[in-house]
Structure 1
Amino acid sequence: MADWNDFAALLADNLARVEAETRGRVPVDIERAFALWAQWTVAVRSNGGTTYFAGNGASASMACHFSADLAKNARVRTQVFTDPSLLTAIGNDLCYADVFAEPLRWYGRESDLLITVSSSGNSPNVVRALEVAREKGLRSVALCAMGPDNASRDLADLCFFVPAATYGQAETAHSAILHHWMDIMESLPR
Structure 2
Amino acid sequence: MSNIDKAWLDDYFARYKATAFDEAIYEKLQDFHQLCLDVRERGGKLMFAGNGASASISSHGAVDFTKQGRVRAVDFNEANLITCFSNDFGYENWMAKAVEFYADDKDVLVLISVSGRSPNAVAAAKYAKSRGIKVVSFTGSAADNPLRAEADIDFWFESKAYNIVECVHMMWLMAVVDMLVGQAEYAVT
When the two structures are superposed, what TM-score results if normalisation uses the length of structure 1? 0.88
Runs of 4+ in 1 over 3 A off after TM superposition: none
Report the RMSD for the aligned CA atoms in angstroms.
1.6
CA distance in 1, matches of 2:50, 2:106: 21
CA distance in 2, matches of 1:42, 1:78: 13
1:141 to 136, 139, 145: 136
- The aligned counterpart of 1:186 is 181
Aligned-residue offset at 1:30? 2.6
Contact 1:119 1:170 (C-alpha < 8 Å) held by counterparts: yes
CA distance in 2, matches of 1:157, 1:38: 13
Pairing of 1:59-78 with structure 2 (within 5 A) = 59-78=54-73
Alpha-carbon displacement from aligned partner over 1:52-71 (angstroms, at most 9, x marks no partner): 00101000000000100011
**Aligned sequence identity (%):** 31
Pairing of 1:1-190 with structure 2 (within 5 A) = 2=4, 3-16=8-21, 29-187=24-182
Alpha-carbon displacement from aligned partner over 1:86-141 (angstroms, at most 9, x marks no partner): 10011112101112110211221221011111000110111011111101111111
Aligned-residue offset at 1:31? 2.2
Contact 2:29 2:172 (C-alpha < 8 Å) held by counterparts: no
SS of residue paired to 1:116:
strand
Between Structure 1 and Structure 2, whose CA radius of gyration is higher?
Answer: 2
> Which structure carries more relative contact order (alpha carbon 8 Å, separation 6+)?
1
Unaligned runs of 5+ residues in structure 1 are 19-28
SS of residue paired to 1:140:
strand
Aligned-residue offset at 1:32? 2.1
CA distance in 2, matches of 1:97, 1:186: 36
- Counterpart AA for 1:137: G
SS of residue paired to 1:120:
coil
Q: State how many pairs are aligned.
A: 177
When the two structures are superposed, what TM-score results if normalisation uses the length of structure 2? 0.88
CA distance in 2, matches of 1:157, 1:165: 23
- Counterpart AA for 1:4: L
CA distance in 1, matches of 2:115, 2:103: 24
Aligned-residue offset at 1:14? 3.1
- Counterpart AA for 2:107: D
